[in-house]
Chains A and B, each alone.
Chain A
Amino acid sequence: MAVLKAQKLVKKYGAREALRGVDFEASAGELVAVIGPNGAGKTTLLSILAGISKPDEGEIHVPQGDVGWVPQQAALYRRLTVEENLLLFARLEKHSDPQASTEEMLELTGLAERREEIVARLSGGNQQRINIAIGLLSRPSVLLLDEPSVGLDPRQRARLWEFVAGLAASNGTTVIFSTHDIQEAERYGRRLLVLADGEALFDGSPDELREAVRREAPEAADQDFETAFVAFLHHRGH
């Protein structure tokens, strides 16, 4: 059963159409990757699902107040400590026991021992973990991650995706993340939504995408997946 549903979403920035009638839905525990080149409309779609911006047309059905959002750039206070950041957002979310929620997130992110460190002194990977932890504070049934692995080294990326996959698998959290890294999407996404120039070109599993690429761009079928995917986009006129 779909926990999140969007129909015919249209978003315009001036004369430019960032989204052109996109349909999308996700079920509980799904791990969905939204992929596409720069300017495809990935961030716009996620920001609409998160309630940050409103669509010009279309409908959206999301669990009220139950969507965690993790923006591309860490949205936290760099001059506060790890604990102070979590505690602040737990208080703003009016948790009955903000300290307990903070402790839980510190354990979950593995940052309990670094709780008193100023965020600005942490690595980009650890900052992103706090960023995600803040998004998870409300224990949302849907978590939206906008390019969460940007700026992370391979080891940090691996830890991040292990953490995110664990959320979907063990907690039943629906995780929707955007990325422009095709291999990362193929590896960690259970379902892929391909966007290009505001249009949804494909919605299915990684294997189904490979099959579609092979079918529509056979000349690139023997190349690596990224090259084949670019050929697929080209074949679709993007």
Chain B
Amino acid sequence: MRWLLLKDLQILRRSPLQAFLLIAYPVLIAVLVGFAISRSPEKPRVAFLNEVPSDARVSVGTSQLPNIGVSDRICERVECVHVKSRAEAVDEVRSGDVLAALILPADLVDRINSLSTPSPSTPRVEVIVNEEDPVKARLVNDRINSLLTQANLVIARRISVEGGKFIGLVLNGGQFSVLGQTIQILGLRNSARILTALRPALPKGPLRDSIDQVLQFTTLTRTNLGTAGTLLTRLTQPIAVDKEVVNASTPPLEVFAIAVAATFTLAFVTVLLVAGSLALEREENAFPRLTRGLVSRSALLTEKVALGVTVGLVVTLLMLAGLALFVPLHWGRLGLWLAAIVGGGAGLGAAGAALGAAAREVRAVSLLAFMVTLPIAFLSLIPSGAVGPALYDAIKLIAALFPFKPALQAMTGALDPAGPSIIGPLLHLALLTIAYGLLARFALRRFTAV
């Protein structure tokens, strides 16, 4: 078997384009994924123009809120590209250097302050986007909506805190500064105490009845205003999210992205190579000569799967090494990586052997391998809830019948230190390897026809 393996590697070496693609493809995938991960999608580039005067403050009533640092808060959420004018912002968006431009106009704070006046005007911010494609447009809209919600929430919380202070002042009394002057506020509680102290000194009659009415009013108002503060706070976030994680094995996004890239590479290299090299035995008319007693059909299949696993292992490790330039990987888990790659490679190689035995020509086999592997790989990535329950069940069944999904699960588990055990996926892969091996062995009967 080793001579056949050596022969296949020699043939691979003699096919520069094929060998180049086998190396270039995973390197390209690694670089793309690496860039995608290192340029986190959580921080899109946004041109930012803040025309609001630095000393402008949002006022509530006659008092001003402290500076809430709108610029800093926005630039925490996006990668801000500060521009000096609206025209520059438009150029940045048009050129594609930034996803969008956000302009805070000079009158923004004045308009916010007008909300508490008899003639309010709507505060507006300007957003410039380049909706050259629908996916980008949706992404930008989601980001802007999220930013505005965040900004509104921050302002609302500030207002509620300040409003709460005013209610406290009305209830309990205290000092209040306006136009540089400090005013002493008596407050309802103190007023009631004074009136309660005065009441016994008054004779029974209309005056005392009036004081009783005022006392009753202050008690009622204090009770109701006491709940107003809490109500005001709740208004800023009436619905709280109580999140419970039921499946704690979800890997970090970058680990999952690397696992997907590595499994894609392993799948294509292994399936195409095994299917192609098996079909080549037929195309070169060597199959009958080999199986006349030199090599058994089972040994030939095993050799092809071993070829796929060997090349797949080298290429996938090269790819992971490339990705390690962008994202720190846990090389201490190399043993698990090898187990996942070998297990995945064996399952995918066996599937490739079944495909290779089903077709007669290398070209037809290559096309078939692409047509089968690509859609099943994408189906395997569809998360639950993205489609209807019945369709998802069907997708889950299809994905379970092809080795891509368990290979991805094994790879994810191997790469993620906090991930689940890879034993389950490896057992699944072992079953699929046997099943596809038997299928390939059966399909090889067609090869015998002279």
Chain A interface residues (CB < 8 Å from chain B): 43-44, 47, 50-53, 65, 69, 71, 73-80, 84, 88-89, 91-93, 118, 134
Contacts and interface: CB of A to CB of B under 8 A. Distances in A.
Contact of B450 (A52, A77, A88): A52
Given A74-B285, A76-B284, A89-B294, A47 B450 contact: yes
With most chain B CB atoms within 10 A of its CB, the pick from A69, A79, A91 is: A79
Interface of B: 3-4, 7, 10-11, 14-15, 284-286, 288-290, 292-295, 448, 450
Contacts of A51: 292-293
Contacts, number: 59
A65 B293 contact: yes
A75 B284 contact: yes
Contact of A92 (B3, B15, B284, B288): B3
B293 A80 contact: no
Contact of B292 (A52, A77, A88): A52
Contact of B7 (A71, A80, A93): A80
Nearest to A67: B292
B292 A76 contact: no
B284 A77 contact: yes
Given A75-B284, A91-B3, 19 more contacts: A43-B450, A44-B450, A51-B292, A52-B450, A69-B292, A71-B285, A71-B289, A73-B285, A75-B286, A75-B288, A77-B7, A77-B286, A78-B284, A79-B15, A80-B10, A84-B7, A92-B3, A92-B4, A92-B294
A80 B14 contact: yes
A69 B295 CA distance: 15
With most chain B CB atoms within 10 A of its CB, the pick from A74, A78, A134 is: A78
Q: 7 closest A-B pairs (Cβ-Cβ)?
A: A75-B285, A92-B294, A75-B289, A79-B14, A91-B3, A79-B11, A47-B450
A75 B291 CA distance: 12
B30 to A, nearest CB: 29
A80 B11 contact: yes
B229 to A, nearest CB: 83
A101 B65 CA distance: 96
B1 to A, nearest CB: 10
A89 B295 CA distance: 11
B293 to A, nearest CB: 6
A52 B7 contact: no
A50 B448 contact: no
Contacts of B295: 92
A79 B19 CA distance: 14
A53 B448 contact: yes
B284 A50 contact: no
A97 to B, nearest CB: 15
B285 A88 contact: no
Contacts of A47: 288, 450
A5 B450 CA distance: 22
Contacts of B289: 69, 71, 75, 89, 134
Contacts of A93: 294
Contacts of A65: 293
Nearest to B291: A52
With most chain A CB atoms within 10 A of its CB, the pick from B14, B289, B292 is: B289
Nearest to A74: B285
A53 B15 CA distance: 33
Contacts of A74: 285
Contacts of B14: 79-80, 118
Contacts of A44: 450
A88 B14 CA distance: 16
A91 B295 CA distance: 11
